[in-house]
Each structure stands twice: as C-alpha cells, then as structure tokens.
C-alpha cells in the first residue's frame, strides 16, 4: 500500500500539472482570439465569464458525485471530459460557437479541481504526511509551462496547433499515470458535503472573502496580463505569455516551500508578509514603464500570492468546533467564485479605465488580506 501511495502521490501531481497546464496555455490564446474574431476586452470578458459560470455551477455538484463514487473514478471522468474542451473552444470559427465549450472548459476543469484535491487528501492519509501545498505547486508549474511556452507554440504551430498539442500531451500524461491514482472508497452519506456546505459560522465567510481577495489577482493575471503587456506596453506574443508564465512559475517555486515557511514563521506572519509582497508586485506591474518591468512585477506578485490561499484553506479546515470538510467547503466555494468570475469584471472595467488602474486596484485587495491576517490564526494548528 505504501508503494501504491508513493506512486499515487506522483499521479495526483500529474493531475494538478494537467489542470494548470491547460489554464496556462489558455492565457496567450486570449489576445489571439480577440484579434482573430475582432472583439474587444468587454466582449472577451463575457466569453471568459462563461468559463467561470460553468465552473462555479458545476462545482456545486462535484462534491456529491465524489462522495458517491470516490475521487479516483470521478477525477478520471472529469479529466477525460476536460482535456478536449481546450482545442474545441479554440478551433470554433466564431466566439459564439465557442461558448458551449468555454462553459465545458470551466465546468469540467472546476470539477476536476475539486476531485484532484479530494484525491490529494486520500494520498495524504495513506502516506501520513502533507502533500497539498506541493500539489498546488505542480498546478502552478503547469501554468508556468503552459504560459511561458504557449505564446511561442502559437507562433510556431498556429493557434490550432498549439491547442491540439496541449490536448495530446495532457491525454498522454493521463494515460500513463491513470493506473497509479489511488482508490478511495465512496462516502457512505453522499449528502454530507451538501449538509456541511454553509455552516453558520461568520468567521468562515470572512476567511472565504479573504480567499476571494487572494484569488482575484491570480485570475486577473491569468486572463488579462498577456493582453495588458501587448496592448499597453507593446509586448510581442512570446513576452505576453511570460507575463503569466513567470507569475505562475514564481508561485510554483514558493508553493513547494510553503509548508516549511509557514511552520517556521507561523501562518499569520506568513500571510501578512505574503499580502504585502503580492500587493507591491501588482503595483509594480501596474506602473511599469516597460514590458520587462511589468513581467518582473507580476513574478514578484506571484511570490506573495503563492501561499495565501493554502493558509486560508488550512485556517478554515482547522477552525475549532467544525469538521475540516465543512469549513473548507465554504471557504473554497467563495474563493473560487472570485478566481473564476472576477476576471470578466476586470475586463469590463479595463475597457474604460485601462489595465494600469485596474491592476493597481486589485493590489489593494491583497493589502486588505494582509491587514486581516490575524483571522487565519487557526492555520497554525497544522504542522506539515
């Protein structure tokens, strides 16, 4: 069982990598799609919100399906449905024909996210040690690879070739690693996640809002950094891909160190410092006089943002008097709503005031989280 769990640890890492790789590869496709279809950031925001709506709507049902059938079975179903969505939405001849696949991309990607996190918990239980922070590091690593090389791949293979190559690589990875995904038994009461979804504990909703404020910048950089550096700073497509790629890469590196950092300095201090670093990085990106400075600012922001959400989830899961799943479910739903839906709002706002003011405003959210860091003290109950 220990050998199976050890391989299961790498299998779940591959799942996080696949999910992040798709999201990273999507980032440099956004300005290309706008150019190809002749649409502005406002209309692109409408298309992006389809991804968010699909994800948030589907995630409500993902927990119950996982409880009934186990995370292994459901993560395979969700992954197999998720992988083809990317090339399908990219290859559609009009933005409106892409809408069903944008919704599917969000829905299956969001459900896969819930299932792979559940499977990571199963691996932790089998191994007897924490792997969650580094699992999220693999998501960021996938985002870095997809974003950093996605622009160059589009220039070399074309927008359709890049999308098909991404799907092929992900399908091959899933095929190789599927046999190692650990099996967890279905929960006896599939209704339990629903019953625990919204406990009457105000602090959990504050933690959820803090998670939302922490995830908005990640979504903002994912969906709009490439457009910002291209349109307002004159970056080429490869540089545009690096704007999100280096942000995600910085997050990956810091997330791999996340448990050690938090154990050394404590959750509250780590969260406060992270919020300040992330906010400063976004301000640098917003005020940057050149593409290079903006990319460096986004990378610095990635260092700060990296461990904020894991700390929030830990605090919710360790809140006194509540089962871990109950607190995490509430905080996760609120947090992901910000990550998935806020980028569309940012697109609308940026259409009128520009991305510089928009990113500067988003930076304020991280500083608000830093000021409320004491609310996450329950996370210090975890020693990874």
Burial letters for 147-166: b for 16+ Cβ neighbours within 10 Å, e otherwise? bbbbbebbbeeebeebbbbb
**Which residue ranges make up each domain of the chain?**
1-181, 201-384
24 closest CA partner among 86, 104, 116: 86
Secondary element (H or E) of residue 324: helix 324-353
Tens of each residue's pLDDT in the chain, 384 residues: 454 788 999 999 999 999 999 999 998 899 889 999 998 878 888 898 899 888 878 877 777 787 778 889 999 999 999 999 999 999 999 999 999 999 999 999 988 987 887 787 778 778 876 677 788 889 988 988 998 898 889 999 999 999 999 999 999 999 999 999 998 766 554 444 444 456 677 888 899 899 999 999 888 887 789 889 998 999 888 888 888 889 988 988 998 888 788 778 888 999 999 999 999 999 999 999 999 999 999 999 999 999 898 888 777 766 776 544 455 666 777 887 777 777 778 888 888 898 999 999 999 999 999 999 999 887 675 444
1-181 CATH choice from 1.20.1250.20, 3.40.50.970, 1.10.3210.10, 2.40.50.140: 1.20.1250.20
pLDDT at 126: 83
Question: Are 1-181 and 201-384 the same fold in CATH?
Answer: yes
Compute the distance between CA of residue 207 and CA of residue 321 in angstroms, rounded to an integer: 16
Dihedral angle over CA of 65, 69, 72, 76, nearest 10: -60
pLDDT at 66: 78
Compute the distance between CA of residue 102 and CA of residue 21 in angstroms, rounded to an integer: 16
**Ramachandran region of residue 321, left (φ > 0), alpha (ψ -120 to 50) or beta?**
left
Look-up: residue for tokens 């299998």? 11
Quote the Cα angle for 314-316-319, to 5°. Answer: 105
CATH 1.20.1250.20, applies to 201-384? yes
Compute the distance between CA of residue 170 and CA of residue 304 in angstroms, rounded to an integer: 29
pLDDT at 185: 66
pLDDT at 154: 93
Compute the distance between CA of residue 1 and CA of residue 226 in angstroms, rounded to an integer: 45
Compute the distance between CA of residue 95 and CA of residue 278 in angstroms, rounded to an integer: 33
Distance of CA 181 to the CA centre of its chain: 21
pLDDT at 191: 47
């Amino acid at each position: 069982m220990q050998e199976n769990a050890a391989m299961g640890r790498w299998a779940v890492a591959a799942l996080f990598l696949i999910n992040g790789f798709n999201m990273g590869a999507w980032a440099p496709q956004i300005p290309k799609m706008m150019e190809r279809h002749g649409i502005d950031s406002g209309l692109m925001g409408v298309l992006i919100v389809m991804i968010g709506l699909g994800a948030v709507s589907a995630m409500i049902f993902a927990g119950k399906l996982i409880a009934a059938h186990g995370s292994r079975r459901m993560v395979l179903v969700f992954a197999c449905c998720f992988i083809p969505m990317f090339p399908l939405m990219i290859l559609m001849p009009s933005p409106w024909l892409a809408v069903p696949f944008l919704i599917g991309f969000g829905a299956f990607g969001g459900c896969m996210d819930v299932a792979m996190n559940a499977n990571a918990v199963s691996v932790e239980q089998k191994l007897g040690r924490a792997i969650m922070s580094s699992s999220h590091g693999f998501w960021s690593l996938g985002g870095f690879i997809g974003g950093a090389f996605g622009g160059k791949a589009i220039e070399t293979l074309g927008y359709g070739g890049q999308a098909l190559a991404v799907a092929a690589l992900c399908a091959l990875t899933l095929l190789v690693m599927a046999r190692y995904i650990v099996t967890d038994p279905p929960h006896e009461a599939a209704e339990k996640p629903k019953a625990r979804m919204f406990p009457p504990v105000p602090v959990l909703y504050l933690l959820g809002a803090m998670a939302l404020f922490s995830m908005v910048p990640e979504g903002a950089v994912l969906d709009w950094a490439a457009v910002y550096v291209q349109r307002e700073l004159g970056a080429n497509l490869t540089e545009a891909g690096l704007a999100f790629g280096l942000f995600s890469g910085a997050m990956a590196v810091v997330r791999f160190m996340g448990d050690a950092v938090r154990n050394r300095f404590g959750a509250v201090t780590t969260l406060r410092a992270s919020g300040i670093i992330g906010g400063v990085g976004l301000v640098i990106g917003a005020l940057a006089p050149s593409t290079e400075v903006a990319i460096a600012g986004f990378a610095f922001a990635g260092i700060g943002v990296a461990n904020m959400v894991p700390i929030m989830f830990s605090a919710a899961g360790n809140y006194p008097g509540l089962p871990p799943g109950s607190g995490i479910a509430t905080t996760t739903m609120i947090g992901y709503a910000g990550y998935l839906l806020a980028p569309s709002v940012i697109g609308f706002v940026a259409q009128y005031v520009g991305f510089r003011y928009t990113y500067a405003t988003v930076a304020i959210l991280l500083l608000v989280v830093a000021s409320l860091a004491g609310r996450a003290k329950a996370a210090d109950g975890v020693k990874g």
